[in-house]
Structure 1
Amino acid sequence: MFSIGYGAPIGIFLLSVIVSYIFVMSPTADDMANNGFVFISSAAKAHIVCQHASKFVRRVLYVKVKDYSENTLPMLSKQIESVYTKASAQYGHLDVRLMLKPSESIKEIVTNSPIDMILYDSELAKDIDVLKNSVAHAKTGCKMQSIECQETSYDAPLEKIRTYENVALGGTFDRLHNGHKILLSQAALRATKLVTVGVADVNMIQSKTLYELIQPVEVRIKEVLNFLKDINPDLEYNVFPLKDLYGPTKDDPKYQLIIVSEETLRGAHKINEKRKENGFQPMDVHVIGLLQDVQAQDSKEEENKISSSNQRMRLLGSMLKPPKPNPNIPDWPYVIGLAGGIGSGKTRITEKLKAKGVAVVNCDTIAHDLYKPGLPLNRTISENFGKDIITESGEVDRKKLGKIVFSDKEQLEKLNHLVWPKVIEEAQRRIQAFGEQGYRVVVMEAALMVRAKWYHSCHQLWAVIVPRDEAIKRVQDRDHLSAEEAAKRVDSQVSNLEHVAHANVVFSPLWSYEYTQRQVDRAWKQLEEFLDKRK
């Protein structure tokens, strides 16, 4: 038994040895490979291998089962669920791709990503040279890493897998996530000839949360195709823009199976009803359960399931695209253009940014100031839109003017032509004055930022959006207008899509105060880091 005098030093010594061992055995960030390829002897090892490999690979991990047969399909199906379900919770940094191509068809394994490291189940050590040579895109000097792991056992019997020549599925497939990978993998596992994938487009996406941030359909199609060709290049794939619920499945009798998630099962039933009407056999339906999103546990705004909506919501306040240098304006102060349509809530965002210490130039206020009695613009407005636009006190009656211009596009263009040059001239004067006062960042807020192209006078453009119906409701409540009048005002302005197309950062104050604050905090932190590096 150790005394207190000797026990503490020995304990410290042992702890230091353990910590040193962990430090030596665990790869540092510099030692990790970007992309890895892991060979496993049994499909039952897939998830465990991924868990081990996540310590060595930081980006893309391909997983290939050496022994493949019809008897492997049930275990592969189970591991598809296990690998991608646990990937989100346990190794979310990895883009995992469980390959489903039969081993006997392998001559050369081609991957979309170049391979920096080949990992292998220790049982395959004797075969590793042959396996390594089969990876076409292994880089010169590719690292090798052995992994020791056990098979996963399951108490319940595995589901027998039926295969079909032609399998169909559909979805948005925005920013391909692990839920999408399960759908696509289960389709590829069950198909022997063709997998047809409809990627939602046009009116199919407009009801989605923050649909304005959904990737272009061409990008989503490319990502789906890349994934499918990675997991099984031997199948034929038809990936196309889906413009309605049915796609080709209602008119083509060759489709035998449709893969759906729990929430889209009703759509499969509708398609089968239409097939029956057309005299075709209904398709078999395979239903995939929804994956829990562990990142959403602390957010009452986000969905509990893994979804593209959650991913888009988490983009709010983040840099969507880097700013381009603007040689036409001074380097300092740094000017953020803040755009947003009527009722979008940009004033709320402005107040939160003001609390961070920025100066604010409000172009709408400037326009209001320029309307004041005695100023040239006041007289010009009267001459162009009638003397009854001017109140008894000499002010421009903005409500009367609004009724004229928001119901007549030509009148609106005429007003803009008169007002815009004066507003941007005064805005630039005020920005310069704030810079002379020592402000590092100035926010220039304007509803007309995009339409007037005032963002050319800014270093970055930040945009604020809410759904059209929400904007109409807010304008109704604020200005005591009818739904029709409010809709005219909202629709007369630049659309959310156009705001997003030009924006470096996007906000949406649609949810709680706290959720909006998190967006602003995220944007501000990134801006500070960016400005600290800027000379």
Structure 2
Amino acid sequence: MIYQAPLAVLCITIIVSYFYMKSPTEPNAMANNGLLFISNAAKVHSVCQRASKFVKRVLYVNIKENSDNTLPLLSKQIDNLYSKSQTSNLDLRLMLKPSDTIREIKTGHPIDMILYDSELAKEIDELKHTVSTVSSGYKLQSIETHGASQHVQEDPLKTYENVALGGTFDRLHNGHKILLSQAALRATKLLTVGVTDVNMIQSKTLWELIEPVEVRIEQVLNFLKDINPDLEYNVFPLKDLYGPTKDDPRYQLIVVSEETLRGANKINEKRVENGLQPMDVHVIGMAQDAHPDHSLEEEDKISSSNQRMRLLGTLLRPPVPNPNIPDWPYVIGLAGGIASGKSNITNKLKLKGVGVVNCDIIAHDLYKPGLPLNRTISEVFGQDIITDAGEVDRKKLGQIVFSDTKQLEKLNSIVWPAVIAEAQRQIRAFGELGHRVVVMEAAVMVRARWYHYCHQLWAVIVPRDEAIKRLQDRNNLTIEEATQRVNAQPSNEEQIAKANVVFSPFWSYDYTQGQIDRAWQGLQEILDARK
């Protein structure tokens, strides 16, 4: 009898643990990656909605039965599935090959859970054995379906041996998935994808944040192999509008979005000039951006530009511990080219309670009459750059150094050591006053590599043309003078190459403030972890 109570407790514990482990609604029970079998194409979206609560990363969707007759319906479901799944971070991948024609299903991500709609309950044992990429200990999960879905007979979908398309494909999103899937659905042999590179990306919003072309090519290729491993794929860096389509007679169809239709027409004009048949053109409609954080500054359609804009103020690279400086105060280096809006960002951060060290002001103060730097500069660059009041004429000095790289380097070698020494003194003083965070703002932050004196590097960028315009207006310069000064600075790409966080005060006040708030919230989490 004395063992009954502990035994009962043990049994209850085992039962509770069992149901806890099996309950799919608990976060710990969610699978990383799942494969969902669906009995027919008409139910894709509705069943995926129910299945999405069981998987948190990648969900592959496979329709058991498919045929040429269901291709039009599958085309509709591609648009329906991806356009209505924007509010979730789940990576959906609708496989275009039916399971009843595949002996072995391979996926790019290991499968932790196999899901199936309830109409496939009798066949799931057979279906699950076709999946070769299941992880050990995978789970099975049935998804209830409420009645058969009805669909109207559609016109046949025309297919082609060789299909082409192009795009930036930055941070592969649902709009890209629609474009790629519709192209793959219509190809029977070869699908060629040009991924824009070099000068073709520089008209894009925040093009400096676009992923390297090698990364984008890999993402496109992995997605295509996941949705149809049987096609031949040619995914390559596209350096001009035409690629191979202008003179290769094999291509029969080009798939474009509404905004790139003009480009397709130009390609066909070039083909006709080269004595080739024009390609058929299939146009994909724009999918509306239904992201919960969508703002008025962003495009209405799903786009990579919107995704890049949403990266502003977020941690792009985790900070690396810097053992060469004290732990406190926490120093953030703020970089940015001339007229980029650094001071705007600094002022907003100052309202958060940070201490601010402005290296440009330090340099200006060191130029004052009677100070050693003033005397050294006049000796090196000539007495005529000193005003009657004994101050350095910064405009005259700028005309000298911004038109001659060697002269600029000479000035930097004189000024930089004095500036960083004073900046470090001010940082220590802010720490002694109790400031946890100090922002060190400097136009030369990146070129002087002063980020080595910081815990994080934050960078501010605006489009180059905007910086030139702002500089003209602010300093009353000609366009030639403003362009010369902007060209003398590190490019936006250089400014953000090592940055942990990037801002762009190019849009509205509220949009800039949102970037600051996101960055500040992320910073607090890092600071709290350092306690």
Q: TM-score, normalised by structure 2?
A: 0.94
Gaps of 5+ in 2: 1-21
Q: CA RMSD, aligned part only?
A: 1.3
What whole-Å deviation, never above 9, does each CA across 1:236-269 have from its counterpart, x for those lacking one?
A: 0000000111110001000000000111111111
Percentage of pairs with the same residue: 74
Do 1:342 and 1:471's aligned partners in 2 also have CA atoms closer than 8 Å?
yes
Are 1:495 and 2:484 counterparts?
Answer: no
C-alpha displacement at 1:297, in angstroms? 7.9
Q: Secondary structure of 1:55's partner?
A: helix
What is the distance in 1 between the residues matched to 2:102 and 2:274? 41
What is the distance in 1 between the residues matched to 2:365 and 2:372? 11
| Runs of 4+ that moved beyond 4 A | none
Are 1:441 and 2:421 counterparts?
Answer: no
What is the distance in 1 between the residues matched to 2:382 and 2:155? 78
Gaps of 5+ in 1: 1-23
What is the distance in 1 between the residues matched to 2:298 and 2:148? 35
What is the distance in 2 between the residues matched to 1:106 and 1:300? 46
Do 1:296 and 1:304's aligned partners in 2 also have CA atoms closer than 8 Å?
no
Q: 1:142 to 1:296 in 2, by over 3 A?
A: closer
Do 1:463 and 1:500's aligned partners in 2 also have CA atoms closer than 8 Å?
yes
C-alpha displacement at 1:33, in angstroms? 1.0
Q: Secondary structure of 2:33's partner?
A: strand
What is the distance in 2 between the residues matched to 1:402 and 1:159? 69
Q: 1:139 to 1:25 in 2, by over 3 A?
A: closer
Do 1:296 and 1:303's aligned partners in 2 also have CA atoms closer than 8 Å?
no
Amino acid at match of 2:324: N
Amino acid at match of 1:48: S
Are 1:213 and 2:213 counterparts?
Answer: no
C-alpha displacement at 1:402, in angstroms? 0.5
What is the distance in 2 between the residues matched to 1:256 and 1:414? 60
Residue 179 of structure 1: which of 164, 175, 197 is its match? 175
- In structure 2, the partner of 1:222 is 218
After TM superposition, list the pairs within 5 Å mapping 1:113-192 onto structure 2.
Answer: 113-149=109-145, 150-154=147-151, 157-192=153-188
Amino acid at match of 1:205: I
Are 1:266 and 2:266 counterparts?
Answer: no
Once the two structures are overlaid, the 10-residue window that deviates more, 118-127 or 359-368, is 118-127
- In structure 1, the partner of 2:16 is none
Residue 346 of structure 1: which of 337, 342, 346 is its match? 342
- In structure 2, the partner of 1:326 is 322
C-alpha displacement at 1:152, in angstroms? 3.9
What is the distance in 2 between the residues matched to 1:297 and 1:58? 20
C-alpha displacement at 1:73, in angstroms? 1.1
Do 2:258 and 2:285's aligned partners in 1 also have CA atoms closer than 8 Å?
yes
Q: Secondary structure of 2:497's partner?
A: helix
- In structure 1, the partner of 2:56 is 58
Amino acid at match of 1:111: T
What whole-Å deviation, never above 9, does each CA across 1:434-491 have from its counterpart, x for those lacking one?
A: 1111100000000000000000100000000000000000000000000000000001
C-alpha displacement at 1:298, in angstroms? 5.5
Q: Secondary structure of 1:193's partner?
A: strand
- In structure 1, the partner of 2:39 is 41
Do 1:42 and 1:66's aligned partners in 2 also have CA atoms closer than 8 Å?
yes
Do 1:163 and 1:191's aligned partners in 2 also have CA atoms closer than 8 Å?
yes
What whole-Å deviation, never above 9, does each CA across 1:290-332 have from its counterpart, x for those lacking one?
A: 0111137862201111000000000000000101111110110
What is the distance in 2 between the residues matched to 1:500 and 1:296? 27
Q: Secondary structure of 1:254's partner?
A: coil
Do 1:48 and 1:152's aligned partners in 2 also have CA atoms closer than 8 Å?
no
Amino acid at match of 1:120: Y
What is the distance in 2 between the residues matched to 1:486 and 1:422? 27
- In structure 2, the partner of 1:234 is 230
Residue 86 of structure 1: which of 84, 87, 91 is its match? 84
C-alpha displacement at 1:159, in angstroms? 3.6
- In structure 1, the partner of 2:197 is 201
Do 2:175 and 2:287's aligned partners in 1 also have CA atoms closer than 8 Å?
yes
Amino acid at match of 2:515: Q
Are 1:376 and 2:368 counterparts?
Answer: no
C-alpha displacement at 1:120, in angstroms? 0.4
Once the two structures are overlaid, the 10-residue window that deviates more, 294-303 or 499-508, is 294-303
Are 1:408 and 2:426 counterparts?
Answer: no
The count of residues paired between Structure 1 and Structure 2 equals: 509
What whole-Å deviation, never above 9, does each CA across 1:344-401 have from its counterpart, x for those lacking one?
A: 0010000000000000000001111111111111111001000011111111111110
After TM superposition, list the pairs within 5 Å mapping 1:2-13 onto structure 2.
Answer: none
What is the distance in 2 between the residues matched to 1:278 and 1:475? 47
Q: TM-score, normalised by structure 1?
A: 0.93
- In structure 1, the partner of 2:3 is none
Do 2:68 and 2:156's aligned partners in 1 also have CA atoms closer than 8 Å?
no
Q: Secondary structure of 1:61's partner?
A: strand
Q: Secondary structure of 2:86's partner?
A: helix
What is the distance in 2 between the residues matched to 1:458 and 1:433? 16
What is the distance in 2 between the residues matched to 1:98 and 1:259? 18
C-alpha displacement at 1:151, in angstroms? 4.5
Q: Secondary structure of 1:322's partner?
A: coil
Amino acid at match of 1:356: K
C-alpha displacement at 1:94, in angstroms? 1.1
What is the distance in 2 between the residues matched to 1:447 and 1:111? 48
What is the distance in 2 between the residues matched to 1:335 and 1:159? 64
What is the distance in 2 between the residues matched to 1:516 and 1:151? 49
Amino acid at match of 1:384: V
C-alpha displacement at 1:26, in angstroms? 6.6
